[in-house]
Amino acid sequence: MEKIFIEHPWEDDDRSSVNEFNFKFVKEKVSKASVSKRANKLQNSTPGRFVRAPSEDVQETPNKIQPSNRKRKATQPTKSLHDEAGHAKQKKQKEVANVGQPKPSDKQLNGKGTASSKEVSLREKLVESLKGSRFRFLNEQLYKSTGEVSRKMFLEDPEAFRAYHDGYRHQIAQWCVNPLDRIIKSIQKLPKNFVIADFGCGEARLAEEVPHKVYSLDLVAANKGVIACDMAQTPLETNSTNVVVFCLSLMGTNLRDFLLEANRIMKVGALLKIAEVSSRFDNVKEFIDCVHKCGFLLDSKDLKHKLFYFFNFKKVRTVDKQSLKGKHFSLKPCLYKKR
């Protein structure tokens, strides 16, 4: 060792009293030879508690227990320990990086391209519940408002019109029969030169399914083939159509205006086809009488179906909107059950 710390003796000063003591260090001159001699002595001595043992040339006493030359066997291979440490480090880094991020879905975890059935089922139920709630709200508004008010509502919020028809398609999928299919089959049997007006056409499926010329009318144009207008004021010419269709579209509080507009654009002898939900009728005879006042005569009716009623009328006379007096009539709202 290059340097050592030498202890200095304590020297007691004269005590002025029994309880007073003063201590101070007294330096002792030590020669270099003395220091070197002490260092060699410590180096050759047995390592003590506070002195670092030399790395080489240490003579052990016979009484000392010789250290075993056998190496301690590892309880686990070193390579596996390094691998585990590496994996743990990577896992911790990922957890730190993903703090505040959404948890990966089953689709990301399993890598099979499909989410778990529970997750998909819950998501679909939530989405369908939201769509169904909005559809029911819009449906009730259409039954409680005039055609003009409903048109303004959809013009101000085009997304509402799409939401309504999305819900409507969902309802149709649950029906055992679509009344539009029956109307399409009946029109396909008519002469091909007949001109059809589809009031409340929706996505204009009728025009796609029949070979006839069809004017598709609705409050908002779902596609380029639809004429957007109020059902009480259409841009069609007077006495220009052979058939008018109301398939689940007699909605609102002013049905008389719709039927009088249909009477205006129809030729005498033209057909009026109506299909409506059966639960909307309190008195079928009363409804038929109201249609008669608008210039139509009942040709046939089918009330046998559980969900829908079907009516065929013919135009027998022209009725001017200004000449017809009386209260407006309407059908009961069709309120769909909550899903």
pLDDT tens, residue by residue, 156-180 = 887 887 888 787 777 778 888 899 9
* Distances in whole angstroms, Cα of residue 275 to Cα of each of 153, 181, 258: 25, 11, 15
Question: Given the structure tokens 């399914």, which residue do they identify?
Answer: 209
Nearest to 218 by CA among 236, 241, 206, 234: 234
Q: How far apart are CA 264 and CA 294, in angstroms?
A: 10
Kind of pairing, strands 308-315 and 296-302? antiparallel
For residue 188, the one-letter residue type is Q
Residue 41 has pLDDT above 50, yes or no: yes
Confidence at residue 58, expressed as pLDDT on a 0 to 100 scale: 47
Which tokens belong to 51? 């002195």
Burial class, 244, CB count within 10 angstroms (exposed 0-12 / middle 13-18 / buried 19+):
buried
Mean pLDDT of the chain: 77
Neighbours of 156 (CB within 10 A): 8
Confidence at residue 269, expressed as pLDDT on a 0 to 100 scale: 97
Q: How far apart are CA 32 and CA 35, in angstroms?
A: 5
At 273 the three-state DSSP class reads strand
Which tokens belong to 85? 């440490």
Confidence at residue 195, expressed as pLDDT on a 0 to 100 scale: 98
For residue 113, the one-letter residue type is G
Inter-residue contact 198 to 204 (CB < 8 Å): yes
Q: What backbone torsions phi and psi does residue 270 show, to the nearest 5 degrees? A: -70, 160
269 or 9, which is more confident: 269
Residue 64 has pLDDT above 60, yes or no: no
Distant-in-sequence, close-in-space partners of 128: CB < 8 Å, separation ≥ 6? 170, 339
Distant-in-sequence, close-in-space partners of 195: CB < 8 Å, separation ≥ 6? 212, 213, 214, 215, 240, 241, 242, 243
Residue 81 has pLDDT above 60, yes or no: no
